[in-house]
Amino acid sequence: MARLLHGAHVEGIEFTDKEINIGLISALMHDTGYIQSRDDIEGTGAKYTLMHIKRGIQFIQNYYEKDSYFNEDLENFSDIINCTGLSINIEDIKFTSANMEMLGKMLATADLMGQMSDRFYLEKLIPLFKEFEEGKVPGFATEHDLLKKTSNFYHITKIRMEKDLGNVSRFMLAHFKSRWRIDRNIYQEAIDKNINYLRFVLKHNEKSIGIFLRRNSVTIQ
């Protein structure tokens, strides 16, 4: 998120200090909806998968409702965090300003790029299936099924980032070029490598996927 903000600044898009704070706080707290309360001792936070955005918004609103600096921005926090929901139509959100809309699109993009560029993204899909089971997320029969559908998921998210989210991922290139003198989007390169490797494994080694996904000591039994 911080890199996207810097890249936007490089390209001439200006945010106030408060807007930057709201964007970064939203990034830090957008997944708090998975946190269990002290008396919630059954299962894990994964059971809140389908409602974690709503819970996260409630958490941040409760946290800042009496804060003299942010108590008038509770709606902004809500709008920005809602953007991370893949089923959310961004056009339906009534942002208070163009900059808040930009921050929402940035957070949604950063969330997707951060996950899919992870060195262990493919390995993490295995325990993710267990989390989906606990959270009663429909659409995936087995770990293998989740892996197979990840390639299509990437296609869908790529379209979402380019269209619904305003292609704000372009700011990543501006960031790396300005900050590190690297004329490449390293996040996108990492994502492409992950997806290409997954497609290779599924095409040539589907019966022994676990052998090819052991970079984090995670295997499919």
Q: For 170-219, what is each residue's pLDDT tens digit?
A: 999 999 999 999 999 999 999 999 999 999 989 887 667 777 786 655 54
Q: For 50-105, what is each residue's pLDDT tens digit?
A: 999 999 999 999 999 999 999 999 999 999 999 999 999 999 999 999 999 999 99
The mean pLDDT of 128-135, rounded to a whole number, is 97
Contact criterion met (CB below 8 Å) for 194 and 116: yes
Q: Is the pLDDT of residue 18 over 70?
A: yes
- The average confidence (pLDDT) of the chain is 95
What burial class does residue 14 get, using C-beta atoms within 10 Å of its C-beta: 0-12 exposed, 13-18 middle, 19+ buried?
A: exposed
pTM for the predicted model, two decimal places: 0.94
The pair of structure tokens assigned to 89 is 């139509």
The pair of structure tokens assigned to 82 is 């809602």
The pair of structure tokens assigned to 168 is 């704000």
Distance CA 33, CA 146 (A): 23
Distance CA 52, CA 49 (A): 5
Contact criterion met (CB below 8 Å) for 170 and 183: no
| 134-151: b (≥16 Cβ within 10 Å) or e | ebeeeebeebbebbbebe
Which of 94, 102, 122 has the alpha carbon at shortest distance from 200? Answer: 122
Q: What is the pLDDT of residue 215?
A: 63
DSSP string over 83-133: TT-TT--GGG---SSHHHHHHHHHHHHHHHHHHHT-TTHHHHHHHHHHHHH
Q: Is the pLDDT of residue 220 over 70?
A: no
pLDDT band at 122; cut points 50, 70, 90 = very high
